Structure formats: C-alpha cells, structure tokens
Chains A and B, each alone.
Chain A
Amino acid sequence: MNSETGSCHLGDASPTARATGRGQISIRNVSKLYDPDGARVLAMDNCSMEIEAGEFCVVVGPSGCGKTTLLNAIAGFHDITAGEIFIDGELLCSPEKKAPPGSDRIVVFQNGALFPWFTVLENVIFGPVVQGGIGKKEAREKAREMLNQMGLHGIESNYPSELSGGMRRRVEIARAMMNDPRVLLLDEPFRAMDALTKTVVQQFLLDLYDKCRKTVFFITHDLEEAIFLGSKVYIMTTRPAKIKTVLQVDIPRPRDFRVLSSSRYMRLKKECIEAVHEEALKAFAAGEREMA
C-alpha cells in the first residue's frame, strides 16, 4: 500500500523534481469537509498520493465518492480543510491557501467545455492568447501544427457543435496541451461516450502520452479504463474517499487495444474488481440506509 508517502520531503523534492521534469505532485493527508449548513459531510479523508513527474496516474472509485473534490483542489476550484498539496515542491494548497486556477494545471471536464461560440482554432489558441506573450498569428500557427500532429486537421474553422463527441474531446485535450501544462487533469472525460468512440479517444490519449510524457491525473469510475490507461491506479473507498489500494500497472508502453486481452491485464483487473466490489457493496448499503 501507498508506501511512498512520507519518503519524499519538501527539501529534496523541489530541486530533483525540477531536474527530472515538471509535474511532480505530492498530496499529503488531504481531507475535505463540506459544511454548507452544519451538515458536515466528509468528502475526502486523509488522502496521500505521490505522483512522479510524467506519470499517468488514475484515480478510480465509485460514483460520488469525492474523487472530483481532489481534482478540483489541484485545479484551484475548491479549497481543502486539512493536509497539503505540493506541485514540483511548491505548496499549492493547504487549509490556509487556495491555489488560483492556472494554465499549468489544465482541466478537461466531464461534459466537455469547449466554448461553443468559438471555432476549433479559436478554442485551441484561447490559452496562449489570454496568457499573452504570443501573437495571435503565432498562436494560430502553433495550434495548426499541434492539431495536425494530433490528427485533427481540416476542422480548424468548425464550431464544436459541428463535431462528434469523440472529436470534441480530442480538441479539448489539444486545447489543454497548447498550454504546456505541468499536469493534465482529466475529470471522467470519456464518461458519456459509447464504447467504440471511447476506445478511439482512449487510444488518442495513450498516443499523446507516449509522445509527450506529461503528468496525467485521470479520474474515472471505470476500472478497465483505469488499468488500460494508467501506470499507477489509486482505488478509492466510497464516501468519504480514502485510498483503499494502490496498483502499479506494469503493462509496457506503448499500449493499444490488444492489451485488453492480455493475461497481465486480466490478472490486474481481477485484483481490482475484488477491491472495488467490496466498496461498491458498501456504497450501495450506505445508499439504502440513506433512503430508509
């Protein structure tokens, strides 16, 4: 279980992390207590994670367990009530400090957030243009290049509503990559997709990861997706979210759909299912209790 927690001190983490790459994240004993009207709902309970720079980390847990709370804290949308989160050795958030959202931690949202009033190209250059320091023309060239590399050419002047769901999601990932973020935060991005589209977009993400090795923080409730994509999979308990197990996925990269029928994958999946099933039952029982 999560043996790495505590092995990494702030003092030695920052220089080495910067030397080896960007996007090393330490989540230390983080809790979040929602207290809207004295209800005191604990969404996250003492979670600790160590994510290496360039690691593909997946957090999987039952729906509504509080996974997104953690992502929102890293993104800067929510605060936390206990613990600390560091990125490349810098304190990002603690109960006293809420990080503002920023282009070094770009979020790809569950239902997509391409601006419908901008074309694909305008969406993709949005980040660089608002951050300044780069002309529109230069940004356009860079965006075209990136879209071409990602196999998304020929749709620059379309509006998001004219694209399929899978295409839209790929454009959104491209928009995130334009900012060269330290970490890519993906909040169940493939949730509402049909199985076929999903495999295409998953493959897209895997290829992208192989090319650029960004740190990825990926949230899902889908175990198969978690093992297929991730290098390290954190399995969360039902609410309040705690870390139940950490799984190192030792399937070599580059990966493609054939992984899904390998014996290694099957073995990992079996391990996972047992851990998660127990939690699912608990979640179900808790739901029953709430109903009663």
Chain B
Amino acid sequence: MSNAAGARAAMDVAVESRGPNSWEIAVFSVKQWFKSAAPYLNLLGITAFVLFWYATTEYLKLPWFKKLPGPVGVFKEWVSRDPAYGISIYTPEYYSHILKSVWRVVQAFFLATSLGVPIGLFMGWKKVFKDYTFPLLEILRPIPMLAWVPLSILMWPGREQSIIFLTFLGSFFATVLNTLLGVESIDEVYLRAANSLGAKPRHIFFKIILPGALPFIFTGLQISMGFCWFSLVAGEMLAGEYGLGYLIWNSFIMVEYPVIVIAMVTLGVIGWFSSALIRAAGNRLMQWKVREDAR
C-alpha cells in the first residue's frame, strides 16, 4: 500500500516536466551539427589526409614512404575474404586480438577507476590523508610506464597479469590526480552551505564532494582511458601473445606491413569509441552540467 503510493510519487517526479530529456537534447544537437559546416570540414580533413597518404606511398612512391603500406593496399587486405597475411574483417583471429585487448583494458580501467576515484576523493576531502599520500603520488606518477615493465614482469606470475598491471598503472595516476583536483575545485561556499543545513560527514561526502568533483573525474577518466590504450599496446608489444599491440609488433617482425596499419586504425577507432562511451556516461550522470552547457 505505502509502497504503491511511494512508487506513484516517484512516477510523479519523473513525469513532471523535466524540460527536454537527454535523448532529445542529443538528437537536437546532432541535427544542429549537420546544419553547420563542421561535419563536411571533418570529412574533408580526413579525405585530404588519405589522399596525401595515397600520393606519397602508392602514387608517387616517394623514397621515404615507399616501404610503407598505402591506403589502397591496406583497405584491400582489410576487407579481403582471403587475406595475404591472415588478418582481415573475415578472419576470427582479427576479432580475437581485438577482444583480448578490449578485455584487458576493461579490467585495468575498472581497477584504476574503482581504486583511483575513492582515493582521489579522500585525498581532497581529508587533508591528513593527502599529506600522507600526495608526495608518493607525485614521485610515482612521472615514472614512465615503460620503466615499470621489468618490475612488473618480476612481480606477477604470468604475462597476463603484468600487462593488466601496466595498463592499470598508466590510468590510475591520471584518475587519482584529476579526482583530487575535482574535489579541490569545489567552492568552499557549498561546504559551508551544507554544514549550515545540518549535513553530516557522510552527506558532505556523497552529496557535495562526489557530485561536485564529477566533472573533473570524467575529464580524468577520458584521459586515463587514453593512457590505458597507450600502456596496453606497450605492454602487449613486450610481453603479449595476443592483442592489437602484439599484432603490430609481430607483423613488423614478420614483414607483414599492411597488418600494422590495420591494427593501428582499429586501435584508433576503438580508442575514440571508448572515450565517447565515457563522455556519454558522464553526460548521463551529470544532467545539470549538460543543461548548463546547452544554454
């Protein structure tokens, strides 16, 4: 009985005009985008690059470029039912490399986010905790991921763990730092207002610190996703048996040059897609920010 009433009340809140919803805003902004010159200029830029690539490698065959695979060769190989070097959109190997890499990134990114965000939030919230951890963070953070490779191999029993660890490291520090900056960006006045309204520490943490830091956290997550892919490929090149990074390095050794470019472009597309996914998740969680920007 009271449950039903509660559900109805919740419905009322949801149904009550919330202005345009996020989907409508998204459709509207895509429509607006196609009315502007931007998409056509985007396309023109990409076409110009491909033409330049084609001209230097396959048409003019300039001395520096003649060893490189050209766009036509790469494309033919990519969509071939019977690829010369064994990798195309019709071969299961292609997808198993992609899946392996994606799965590694998902694990590392999940670990880095679920550890990095709380640590960053605590560092920003409790000065004592920051005093303990910040110098350590600042010393560990600039160490290039590649420098961790030997220790990582020594530390972990298998290659898989050490690749995931390397991928994790790259994104972990970016997440912590951006979360910390996010907390520090929160105007003191919100904390005062919350205290004045009778908030207890847990409310301060969940209702002020966390939502207040969210815009920075999501910027950080996009950066950290980039680091994830960077570190992953480096890790796979050194220690992998599968994955796009391994594929690139192995194709280089085996002189299967078009495969290198296929794997590179695949990495680019997946990387872009994963960033877009994080942006979408951020927009979903931060309706207030979306509507602020839409104005």
Question: Taking beta carbons and an 8 Å cutoff, which residues of A are in contact with B?
Answer: 75-77, 100-103, 105-107, 109, 111, 113, 115-119, 121, 126-127, 130-131, 137, 140, 156-162, 175, 179
Q: Is the CB of B288 within 8 A of A161?
A: yes
Q: Is the CB of A103 within 8 A of B196?
A: yes
Question: Taking beta carbons and an 8 Å cutoff, which residues of B are in contact with A?
Answer: 6, 9, 13, 16-19, 187, 189-190, 192-200, 203, 207-208, 211-212, 214, 286-289, 291-292, 295
Partner of B286, one of A101, A117, A130, A137: A117
Shortest Cβ gap from B196 to chain A (Å): 5
Q: Is the CB of A179 within 8 A of B198?
A: yes
| Set of chain A residues within 8 Å of B203, measured between Cβ atoms | 130
Q: How many A-B residue pairs have CB under 8 A?
A: 90
| Set of chain A residues within 8 Å of B18, measured between Cβ atoms | 157
Closest 9 A/B residue pairs (Cβ): A103-B198, A113-B193, A117-B211, A101-B195, A161-B292, A127-B197, A159-B288, A131-B198, A130-B203
Residue in A closest to B288 when the chains form the complex, CB atoms: A159
Residue in B closest to A77 when the chains form the complex, CB atoms: B192
Count chain B CB atoms within 10 A of each CB in A75, A107, A111, A175 and give the residue with the most. Answer: A107
The secondary-structure label for the interface of chain A is loop
Count chain B CB atoms within 10 A of each CB in A75, A77, A111, A126 and give the residue with the most. Answer: A126
Residue in B closest to A137 when the chains form the complex, CB atoms: B9
Q: CA A117 – CA B207 in complex, angstroms? A: 9
Q: Is the CB of A159 within 8 A of B16?
A: no
The secondary-structure label for the interface of chain B is helix
> 28 interchain pairs (CB within 8 A)?
A75-B192, A76-B195, A102-B196, A103-B197, A107-B192, A107-B193, A113-B193, A115-B190, A115-B194, A115-B207, A115-B211, A117-B214, A118-B211, A126-B194, A126-B207, A127-B197, A130-B194, A130-B199, A130-B203, A130-B207, A131-B197, A140-B9, A157-B17, A157-B19, A159-B287, A161-B288, A162-B291, A179-B197
Q: Is the CB of B288 within 8 A of A113?
A: no
Q: Is the CB of A109 within 8 A of B200?
A: no
Shortest Cβ gap from A239 to chain B (Å): 22
Given contacts A107-B192, A130-B200, A131-B198, contact A157 B16 (CB under 8 A): yes
| Set of chain B residues within 8 Å of A175, measured between Cβ atoms | 197
Can you add 9 more A-B contacts, CB < 8 Å, to A113-B192, A115-B193, A117-B289? Answer: A100-B195, A106-B197, A113-B189, A115-B208, A116-B288, A117-B211, A118-B211, A130-B194, A130-B198
Partner of A158, one of B13, B19, B190, B207: B19
Shortest Cβ gap from A185 to chain B (Å): 8
Q: CA A159 – CA B19 in complex, angstroms? A: 10
Q: Is the CB of A105 within 8 A of B292?
A: no
Q: CA A167 – CA B66 in complex, angstroms? A: 67
Shortest Cβ gap from B8 to chain A (Å): 10
Given contacts A161-B288, A162-B19, contact A109 B197 (CB under 8 A): no
Q: CA A75 – CA B194 in complex, angstroms? A: 12
Shortest Cβ gap from A79 to chain B (Å): 15
| Set of chain B residues within 8 Å of A103, measured between Cβ atoms | 196-198
| Set of chain A residues within 8 Å of B287, measured between Cβ atoms | 159
| Set of chain A residues within 8 Å of B187, measured between Cβ atoms | 113
